[in-house]
Structure 1
Amino acid sequence: MTETTENPGSTASPDTLRDLLTDQLIEQGNIHSKPVEAAFRAVPRHLFAPEVAPGKAYAAESVVATKKDEHGITVSSVSAPSIQATMLEQAEITPGMRVAEIGSGGVNAAMLAELVGEDGEVVTGDIDLFVTDRARRFLDATGYARVRVVTADGEDGFPGHAPLDRLLVTVGSWDIPPAWMDQLADHGRLVVPLRMRGLTRSVAFDKEDGHLVSRSAEICGFVTMQGAGAHKERLLLLRGKEIGLRFDDDWGADPEALNGALDTGRAEVWSGVTVGRGETFGGLQMWLATAVDGFCQLSVDAKLDTGLVAPQNRIACPAVVEGGSFAYLTVNRTEDVPGEPVFEFGAHGFGPDGPAVAGRFAEQIRIWDRDYRHGPDPVIYAYPAATPEEDLPQGRVIPKRHVRVVISWPQEGQGIQHNPTKEK
């Protein structure tokens, strides 16, 4: 096992910490190419995050908050090295490219400069002057003065720097504005943390014939977009403020219809599908978001938690609302295999139709396990919002302001509970 840099008080030198971090990211699979490895070994990350000790700056999953709003919510940060490495690998940047970044912490722009070399161009921008001033200062101090820094709303992209071979967005985005696609060169690539039905994935999109087609999608989390591209979820509170249902795209729930749903008792339906500790199941989350109408995310206030609900994740758990009833994903520890715990997926339902809703949710878990768990990931498309439905590929259509996102699974149709191109 490679030594890691998780100890913020480490007395190792920054150079040693940087090499340890890079070795760890290679072992974890976040880095798999020599150019990205070289960029991580070259850029003095700690100098872009003076708010924390070097050991913290070089921790693989460490996010360094650089600015918070009046409520204490982080609005700007230096992203975790693991997701930065993942996105750089997704981008597949080569020397001489013209690359832009929306969301400017400085360190990622420095690595972009390493990847494009002296013959390439890098521009990084942010809507917040505090962020861009900070990035400019650190880039100059670390030898990356050639990176251009602009202060502007990312919704407009970088019209003075198009066409772009690559555009990386390092803030969470709900939509894809026209400028991003228009400013890409033919067959250019956009890498963006795109929020789809409450789930955020770093999607590498290639531009093809006026639309975007995904090449990869990875689980991630980012501070949300500010300015014209900002988009807030809608929150439905239950049992005072203990339980929340968060809707990203649709507001299909009738708040009044769910009154009393939590007084009906909890229905439990188990799927027979199991998962081991440490095994990822992001594909299940995406499948549930694709397969059911009324999809949302359930969260529980830790300070008010009475134990009435037991979601798989108390911060953001896949859930579904049908009329006056809802169900959510849960897990239960079953018999262990030698040395490893095993958990079974299931669904808890509340409301007059809670047992039936939970049963349908559990059936979708079985469908994912049978048809998609070990198969290829879905392809994600983004078409201009005015594209007629007959010109869209089959799949779950997610209407947004500027684009229509389509999530298309192989052999689309098995178990889908709706006409996938008719969601409004």
Structure 2
Amino acid sequence: MMAVDGGDQAGELRARLADELIARGYIRSTRVEAAFRAVPRHAFVPADTPLDVTYHVDRSVVTKRDENGVAVSSVSAAYIQVAMIEQAELRPGSRVLEIGSGGYNAALLAEVVGPGGRVVSVDIDPEVTDRAAGLLEAAGYGGRVTVITADAQGEVFGRESFDAIIVTAGAWDLAPAWLRGLAVGGRLVVPLRMNGVSRSIGFRWEMGRLVGTSAVVGGFVPMQGAGEHLDREFRLPDGRGGAVTLRFDDGAPDDPALLDGVLASERGEAWSGVTVGHGESFADLYLWFAGFLPGFCKLAADEGTELAQERKSWFPFGVVRGDSFAYLSVRPALEGRGVEFGARAYGAHGGEAATAMVEQIQAWDERGRTEPGFEYWPTGSALARFPDDVAVLHKTHGLVAITWPAC
């Protein structure tokens, strides 16, 4: 087993982080634990990255940005990397395809599958693959990982099949080539974008469709190449030089001009009576919106706008109704019981938008506070008939069904 250390401090921080990942339940197997303790994460990030950032549980490290400063490659947060490897259910001797190269994750995979396994890492960007290959060689993994430059959406590997395919970039859809590349009983682990909300989902084949076995919350740089999916964005000027941007993964308004000047209108609000305690997760509320709230979008506010000045009282999720929009807001709950969810809105029909959001908050409170299940039905499969309480999101090569168990 490889053990490369860049100094006592790095080794101590890595050991401490391993203990934390185990305590939080992200590392569940002895092989993943051993791999994490062995591979020097600091050897795969930019040299000027502080060690406390490198060995932080939920800090990713950007390794390349595009001409606009947008991150296009990174070393993902430690918690999501080990969680995705656990989702893949690897064994000694497993054949693994990694889509999205960086070097560090591939080194972890090489440790987990051992000398009898096979690790192939592919990326569309030659700068990324050159960097990954060089770092892997320097860390002693050059002979244990095959690095390839290609768009993994296509037929890159011929008839070769893999026991696991791990996608490390946000994917709007599943490429048919990935499904064909899975061996019988194989696992596909993919950060799937569902109407702007991502989950790393572990899938397995079952009777003509992929069935989710686990899901982890996390953010990822978007897929490039043939699998790229561009959001539609609309900037709403506030009349003072700033703007609020609405971003749609799907279902963008047919006539966004209806929203012109909307921020000049009087703001309204509606409250749900639904509360969450301090420190209580409500990440699946966003997924509920993504599945059941028509007109759902994400939003961002320029510095200096009214929303930016109130940043602690809202979250970047909204809904559009014609000439109006609403966004998820919170206010202190009674008797210090955390916060209450609601919606604030702009526009002549802002009340309708706020009410639509509040109704879905209440529906999530009644049914959605359980872990959802995921299925992916490839185009051409014999589709099930989905009841109304299943969220169905249509993709290019299939559809995603999200189910919340009855409470």
Tell me the TM-score normalised to structure 1 length. Answer: 0.87
The 1:313–1:335 alpha-carbon spacing in structure 2 relative to 1, beyond 3 Å, is: closer
Superposed CA offset, 1:298-345 (max 9, x none): 2212x242348957787x6221112222211101123454xxx61111
Partner of 1:181: 179
Partner of 1:155, secondary structure, is: coil
CA offset digits 1:226-279 (Å, max 9, x no partner): 111111100011125511111102223421222343333122111111112222
- For the pair 1:62 / 2:59, whether they are aligned, the reply is yes
Equivalent residue runs for 1:296-311 within 5 Å:
296-301=297-302, 303-307=303-307
**Residue in structure 2 matching 1:217, options 215, 218, 243:** 215
Give 4+ residue runs of structure 1 displaced > 6 Å after superposition: 311-314
Q: Is the 8 A contact 2:321 2:352 kept in 1?
A: no
Deviates more, 1:159-168 or 1:291-300: 159-168
Are the structure 2 counterparts of residues 48 and 89 from structure 1 closer, same or farther at C-alpha, using a change threshold of 3 Å?
Answer: same
Q: Which amino acid aligns with 1:185?
A: A
Separation in 2 of the partners of 1:331 and 1:54?
36
Q: Secondary structure at the match of 2:258?
A: helix
CA contact (8 A) 1:311 1:329 kept: no
C-alpha distance in structure 2 between counterparts of 1:212 and 1:220, whole Å: 20
The whole-number CA distance in structure 2 between the counterparts of 1:251 and 1:409 is 25
Q: 1:382: which partner in 2?
A: 376
After superposition, the C-alpha distances for 1:137-175 in whole angstroms (9 at most, x for unaligned) are 121222222111111112126424731110000011111
The Cα of 1:19 is off from its aligned counterpart by 0.4
Task: Name the aligned partner's letter for residue 24 of structure 1.
Answer: E
Q: 1:161 to 1:276 in 2, by over 3 A?
A: farther
Where do residues 6-25 of structure 1 align in structure 2 (5 Å cutoff)? 12-25=8-21
Matched, 1:350 2:346: yes
Query: What root-mean-square deviation, in Å, do the aligned CA atoms of Structure 1 and Structure 2 show?
Result: 2.3
How many angstroms does 1:392 deviate by? Answer: 5.1
Identify the residue that residue 205 of structure 1 maps to in structure 2: 203
Q: Structure 1 CA distance, aligned partners of 2:313 and 2:218?
A: 16
Q: Which residue of 1 aligns with 2:226?
A: 228
- For residues 322 and 386 of structure 1, the distance between their equivalents in structure 2, rounded to whole angstroms, comes to 34
* 2:251/2:294 contact within 8 Å kept: no
Match of 1:131 in 2: 128
Report if the CA contact (8 A) 1:312-1:330 is conserved. no
CA contact (8 A) 2:18 2:33 kept: yes
TM-score by length of 2: 0.90
Distance 1:392 1:96 in 2: 39
Cα 1:309–1:45 shift into 2, 3 Å: closer
Preserved contact between residue 313 and residue 330 of structure 2 (Cα < 8 Å): no
Q: Report the counterpart of residue 420 of structure 1 in structure 2.
A: none
Once residues 137 and 34 of structure 1 are traced to their aligned partners in structure 2, the CA distance between those partners, rounded to angstroms, is 28
Q: Secondary structure at the match of 2:288?
A: helix
Give distance in 1, aligned partners of 2:269 and 2:52. 45
For 2:319, give the aligned amino acid.
Answer: V
Counterpart CA distance in 1 for 2:353 and 2:9 is 56
- Paired with 2:307 and 2:272, the residues of 1 have a C-alpha distance of 22
Aligned CA distance change for structure 1 residues 158 and 41 (closer, same or farther; 3 Å) = farther
Cross-structure match for 2:333: 334
How many Å separate the matches in 2 of 1:234 and 1:56?
A: 33
SS of the residue aligned with 2:202? strand
Q: How does 1:288-299 map to 2 (within 5 A)?
A: 288-299=289-300
Measure how far apart 1:32 and its partner are: 2.3
Question: Which consecutive unaligned segments of at least 5 residues does structure 1 have?
Answer: 1-9, 413-424
What are structure 2's unaligned runs of at least 5 residues?
Answer: 1-5
Q: Is the 8 A contact 1:177 1:403 kept in 2?
A: no
Structure-2 separation of matches of 1:357 and 1:348? 9
Give the aligned residue type for 1:18.
R
CA distance in 2, matches of 1:383, 1:233: 23
SS in 1 for 2:333: strand
Rounded Cα–Cα distance in structure 2 between residues aligned with 1:309 and 1:380? 37
Seen in structure 2, the aligned counterparts of structure 1 residues 346 and 260 have a Cα distance that, compared at 3 Å, is same
Find the partner of 1:147 among 145, 148, 158.
145
* Higher deviation after alignment, 190-199 or 399-408: 399-408
Question: Aligned match of 1:367 in 356, 360, 363?
Answer: 363
Match of 2:3 in 1: none
